[in-house]
């Protein structure tokens, strides 16, 4: 049995006894096979000495039990690492920053405490997955949607706290931004309620976010200032219909006006999430491959000429509308009118659904765009006739870039050479489209393959990361989210004034968690006694 | 010349010398007549010994000067109180929580640093007023709107930091919520940049709010953790047209379905800010006055019968739409369809504007709904034939209540008896409509009159406040904003777990500002050495 760092075997045995008293033996996991379940199955350090594995896990059922755990840990100086459902795959899974931490696993706390479909909010516990949340709403016929990320098994709270994102309307896709009110167990074991939740008997917990005085909620996201045990969220009132339409533009440089116009439509509230792509990038053809293989990459003129000859568009954008049937039709007509200023723009009606969906529609639809959690994202990487050698996993490199067409073209120029040099030539693309989950910025996502048998490949990934992060930082870009093994690296780029932001957060950390027991290292924030071990 | 608390005359003279070196003599104000300009002209303690007046004022022109001031103050233990333009009338003006503080007046720092009308954001300094901001945009013909509160002379940053609110689209009305990225001078004199601004040479400062790691921005709102010297804001892309329409419903209880349906429309993004009112409450008639004067208030049946006889609606709501002409028409049609389920609902087309406005339209319009800053709100209280005895000022009691019709009716029941008992019978209303500035909650606004000659009236206001705050807290409601003299009182209601929220913030305060020099008491947060003086 592993012993957490910084404690003796005897102290650990004593703490375990206390944890068992608090949780019962069914809530304390110390066997190798149990603890192995908390490894990050997508770890780029899989099986190596440096892999960050937990020493044990604790699974409370109630917030009171969380409080007891934190109190025991604080007294005994046991390092805890809190997770919700532990599904943060590609960004660290359920494994800690600090090897030997005890995972505080909140997945048993899976109660949906309240859903109001007149005021459109919910209050949930951290173990509530998107599946749980959706089923709760569907079973009761409530008139609200959720906004979910690709994999539906993740935690609503956990995703929000890691600044996770979704697929519907701008106001709801930023999951932390659409939260309202929290209950937290602080590192000293005290309960804190934020916002209006701090008023005893509060009636507006999930309606007004600030309450009174300094607004502290942000500290509990991508950080280690407390264990969130309840959280309110604003919900999307269920729309009556969904319409999508696709615009294509012929030339490579058309991405610049395309983004400008789509920005206008989205920021003004006319459309939901736009989805960019490159039809040209889908063409499998030797002539195009030769163009792309030119030293320094393809010329814009060559690409445009090729695209014109083949009648393929350089770029496309799928626009999505939610609302009354006549409203979405008018919005789509308006969008077409605005986009028609781009010479050669073409339009296609893509989908129209009136809710509730038929079973056939639900099967065919892009489910997350309709707030329906699912796991189909994993199908793309699963073993199949088309993909006989699926990856074991992946880690995401996710730089935030400006919301402009120019930045899209720039990003490929910046990252392609690095991706090629570090040994992933198949990931070089001149047709990469940005992800649009965030309301006001693009994020350029690279999914690097992880292997549980090929350490050399994992090492290449680990070597690639610092170069990519630096290439981004040189452009004034930074990443929004990353696995524990790269969190210090990513935070390093946020270095204005000799890392003032990190130093500020660590000053706060020392004040709130003087023993440094909670999720040491998360978000690049280390407690004082471990600061010299920063990666 | 007044001396700040906690320093000797000699230390003060020495600090003043240093301030003068940093700012030049034109940046340091110590004469009685200069310092008097920083009094809260709406203070409920006007002219009394307890009035909280500053000892001096400092007016830097640059962030570097702010840094120098803070460093001097930190070394010399001079209490500072930072203001932006100092126009927070009704919520404290420019006067400090701690009497004798030195006002740090940022109004000279009034540069609009960047406006991007393709990505729809701006970065501004704290002295930029809504007028400044609007003119900057208009002069350059930029395709963005601002969202402003009623008085246009306030600071864009100052308003956001006090959780101020506006009038257009839900995503922009909450001014702090629509901010993105900050530069702050911390109490130790260090510069901090948050969010993407922490990446040197950042390109997405005002596009992605979180950056990486704990999200600390909220601490700088309604608090005293630093002096904000730059701040990014998301802007509303200028819409092509504006349409408004009004729905009226006949019966008092119709407010319940009315709010439910309007909530649906607003939260789904179909409408901008709704504005509720009561046509019945506008009727001046003895019969109605007699109904209202009944002990215990009017009966619903009596009011409904009266309203039906007179053909007056109990409630109305003005709906506002922004976008393409065909889109807003479809949205209004959709809204009418939804609202028609309320028996007797009637609809009236109110306004339609295509931008740019004609001069005549601009004059007639409700300007703030169109993002046009102005000062017309003051006209309502100005001296005129109709109003020969204008108030000297007012303080706002502003409880946040649930976004439901039932809560509106409840709020009048809760507050009317208290308002009457404390001696403001003219403010009792059975027809009061909520303010709808916040996206997801109502706020019920009471404006208590302040006099600069009648101390007895001011005392009545001061006596009324605790009773109102308690009446709200008993219902689980709290206030969102309040003048310094009531900030401890308001914060007291956010008392969950023995004031855990306040204690948490004060733990952070001690860590960040160990000498307690910055804006002591703001938001109910006091530094350690003054905590026992809490009101």
Q: What is the pLDDT of residues A207-235, one digit of tens each?
A: 999 999 999 999 999 999 999 999 999 99
Tell me the β-bridge partners of A173: none
pLDDT at A382 over 80: no
| Nearest CA among B213, B212, B211 for reference residue B203 | B211
Collect all residues with Cβ–Cβ distance below 8 Å to A234 and sequence separation of at least 6. Answer: A120, A121, A171, A172, A178, A179, A180, A206, B267, B440
pLDDT at A193 over 80: yes
- ipTM of model over 0.95: yes
Tell me the β-bridge partners of A144: A237
C-alpha–C-alpha distance, residues B199 and B202, integer Å: 5
Same fold, A112-237 and A241-354: no
pLDDT at A508 over 80: yes
Residues 512-531 of B with CB under 8 A from A: 512, 523-525
Is A531 exposed, middle or buried (CB count within 10 Å of its CB: 0-12, 13-18, 19+)? middle
C-alpha–C-alpha distance, residues A247 and A333, integer Å: 12
Instruction: Give the pLDDT of residue B75.
Output: 96
Nearest to B212 among A199, A324, A479 (CB): A479
- In chain A, the residue whose alpha carbon lies closest to the alpha carbon of B499 is A198
Q: How many percent of chain A have pLDDT more than 90?
A: 95
- Strand B275-277 to B315-323 pairing: antiparallel
* Shortest Cα–Cα distance, B385 to chain A (Å): 40
C-alpha–C-alpha distance, residues B502 and A216, integer Å: 10
Q: Which residues of A touch B400 (CB under 8 A)?
A: 196, 204, 207-208
- In chain B, the residue whose alpha carbon lies closest to the alpha carbon of A492 is B199
Place of tokens 């006694």: A529
C-alpha–C-alpha distance, residues A106 and A126, integer Å: 6
Collect all residues with Cβ–Cβ distance below 8 Å to B387 and sequence separation of at least 6. Answer: B381
Instruction: Give the pLDDT of residue B399.
Output: 98
Tokens of B269: 């993004």
Query: Count of CB contacts below 8 A, A vs B?
Result: 369
CATH architecture of A241-354: 3-Layer(aba) Sandwich (3.40)
Instruction: Give the pLDDT of residue B296.
Output: 84
Tokens of B304: 């409904």
Collect all residues with Cβ–Cβ distance below 8 Å to B503 and sequence separation of at least 6. Answer: none
Region for B56 from its dihedrals, namely left if φ exceeds 0, alpha if ψ lies in -120 to 50, beta otherwise: beta
Q: Is the pTM of this model over 0.95?
A: yes
Q: Binning pLDDT at 50, 70 and 90, where does residue A378 land?
A: confident
Q: What is the CATH number of domain B112-237?
A: 3.30.465.10
Instruction: Give the pLDDT of residue A282.
Output: 96
Average pLDDT of each block of 10 consecutive residues along chain B (535 residues)?
A: 93 97 96 97 96 98 98 97 95 96 98 98 98 98 97 97 96 96 98 98 97 98 97 98 98 98 97 98 95 91 97 98 98 98 98 96 94 89 79 95 98 96 93 97 96 95 97 98 98 98 98 98 98 86
- For residue A81, CA distances in Å to A48, A84, A97, A354, A508 come to 21, 10, 8, 44, 18
Interface probe for B, chosen from A122, A146, A263, A268 (most Cβ of B below 10 Å), is A268
Could you state, in order of their start, the residue ranges of all structural domains in chain B?
9-105, 112-237, 241-354
Asked whether the bond before B356 is cis by omega within 30 degrees of 0, the reply is yes
Tokens of B77: 């233990």
Phi (first) and psi of residue B361, to 5 degrees:
-65, -45
Is A522 exposed, middle or buried (CB count within 10 Å of its CB: 0-12, 13-18, 19+)? buried
Please state, rounded to an integer, the average pLDDT across all residues of chain A.
96
- In chain B, the residue whose alpha carbon lies closest to the alpha carbon of A482 is B212
C-alpha–C-alpha distance, residues A118 and A132, integer Å: 21
Is B179 exposed, middle or buried (CB count within 10 Å of its CB: 0-12, 13-18, 19+)? buried
C-alpha–C-alpha distance, residues A499 and A514, integer Å: 21
CB B271, CB B319: distance < 8 Å: yes
Interface probe for A, chosen from B181, B204, B498 (most Cβ of A below 10 Å), is B204
Instruction: Give the pLDDT of residue B140.
Output: 98
Instruction: Give the pLDDT of residue B377.
Output: 85
> Does B14 contact chain A (CB < 8 Å)?
no
C-alpha–C-alpha distance, residues A370 and A349, integer Å: 17
> Does A367 contact chain B (CB < 8 Å)?
no
Instruction: Give the pLDDT of residue A384.
Output: 79
pLDDT at A350 over 90: yes
Interface probe for B, chosen from A114, A192, A396, A494 (most Cβ of B below 10 Å), is A494
Q: Which fold has domain A9-105?
A: 3.30.43
Residues 195-214 of A with CB under 8 A from B: 196-204, 207-214
- For residue B297, CA distances in Å to B54, B407, B408, B413, B467 come to 45, 17, 15, 9, 20
Measured CA angle at A522 (ends A437, A492), to 5 deg: 80
Residues 118-177 of A with CB under 8 A from B: 118-121, 143, 163, 169-171, 176-177
Q: What is the SS3 assignment for B325?
A: helix
Q: What is the SS3 assignment for B449?
A: strand
E-state strands within B403-492: 442-443, 446-450, 478-479
CB B401, CB B477: distance < 8 Å: yes
**Average pLDDT value for residue range A71-96:** 96
CB A191, CB B500: distance < 8 Å: yes
Place of tokens 């948490």: B504
pLDDT in tens, A455-481: 999 999 999 999 999 999 999 999 999
Nearest to B323 among A194, A210, A270 (CB): A270
Q: In the 8-state DSSP scheme, what is residue B350?
A: E
> Does B218 contact chain A (CB < 8 Å)?
yes
Region for B33 from its dihedrals, namely left if φ exceeds 0, alpha if ψ lies in -120 to 50, beta otherwise: alpha
- For residue B464, CA distances in Å to A349, B409, B416, B457, B461 come to 61, 21, 12, 10, 5
């Amino acid at each position: 049995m592993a012993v957490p760092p910084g404690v003796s075997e005897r102290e650990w045995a004593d703490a375990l006894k206390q944890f068992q008293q608090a949780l019962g033996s069914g809530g304390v996991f110390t066997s190798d096979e149990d603890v192995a379940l908390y490894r990050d199955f997508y770890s780029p350090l899989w099986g190596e000495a440096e892999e960050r594995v937990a020493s044990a896990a604790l699974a409370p059922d109630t917030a009171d039990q969380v409080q007891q755990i934190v109190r025991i840990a604080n007294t005994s100086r046991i390092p805890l690492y809190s997770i919700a459902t532990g599904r943060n795959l590609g960004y660290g899974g359920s494994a800690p920053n600090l090897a030997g931490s005890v995972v505080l696993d909140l997945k048993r706390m899976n109660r949906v405490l309240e859903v109001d479909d007149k005021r459109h909010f919910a209050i949930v516990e951290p173990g509530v997955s998107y599946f749980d949340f959706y089923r709760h709403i569907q079973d009761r016929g409530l008139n609200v949607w959720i906004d979910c990320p690709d994999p539906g098994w993740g935690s609503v709270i956990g995703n929000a706290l890691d600044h996770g994102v979704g697929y519907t309307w701008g106001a709801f896709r930023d999951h932390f931004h659409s939260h309202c009110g929290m209950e937290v167990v602080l590192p000293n074991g005290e309960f804190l309620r934020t916002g209006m939740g701090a008023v005893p008997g509060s009636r507006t917990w999930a309606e007004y976010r600030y309450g009174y005085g300094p607004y502290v909620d942000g500290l509990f996201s991508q950080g280690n200032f407390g264990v969130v045990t309840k959280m309110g969220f604003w919900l999307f009132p269920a729309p009556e219909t969904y319409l999508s339409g696709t615009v294509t533009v012929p030339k490579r440089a058309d991405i610049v006006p395309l983004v400008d116009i789509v920005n206008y439509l989205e920021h003004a509230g006319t459309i939901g999430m736009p989805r960019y792509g490159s039809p040209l990038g889908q063409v499998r053809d030797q002539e195009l491959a030769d163009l792309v293989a030119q030293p320094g990459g393809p010329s814009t003129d060559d690409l445009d000429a090729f695209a014109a000859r083949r009648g393929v568009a350089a770029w496309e954008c799928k626009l999505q509308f939610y609302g009354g049937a006549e409203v979405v039709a008018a919005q789509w007509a308006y969008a077409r009118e605005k986009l028609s200023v781009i010479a050669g723009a073409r339009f296609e009606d893509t989908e129209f659904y009136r809710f509730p969906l038929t079973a056939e529609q639900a099967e065919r639809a892009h489910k997350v765009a309709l707030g329906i959690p699912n796991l189909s994202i994993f199908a793309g990487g699963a073993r199949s006739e088309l993909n006989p050698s699926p990856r074991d996993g992946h880690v995401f490199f996710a730089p935030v870039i400006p919301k402009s067409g120019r930045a899209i073209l720039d990003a490929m120029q910046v990252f392609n050479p690095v991706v090629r040099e570090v040994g992933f030539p198949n990931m070089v693309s001149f047709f990469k489209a940005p992800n649009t989950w965030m309301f006001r910025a693009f994020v350029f996502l690279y999914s690097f393959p992880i292997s549980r048998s090929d350490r050399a490949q994992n090492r290449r990934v680990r070597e690639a990361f610092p170069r990519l992060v630096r290439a981004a930082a040189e452009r004034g870009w930074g990443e929004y989210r990353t696995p524990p093994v790269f969190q210090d690296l990513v935070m390093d780029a946020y270095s204005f004034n000799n890392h003032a932001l990190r130093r500020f957060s660590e000053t706060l950390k020392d004040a709130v968690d003087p023993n440094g027991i909670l999720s040491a290292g998360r978000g690049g924030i280390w407690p004082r006694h471990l600061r010299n071990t920063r990666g």
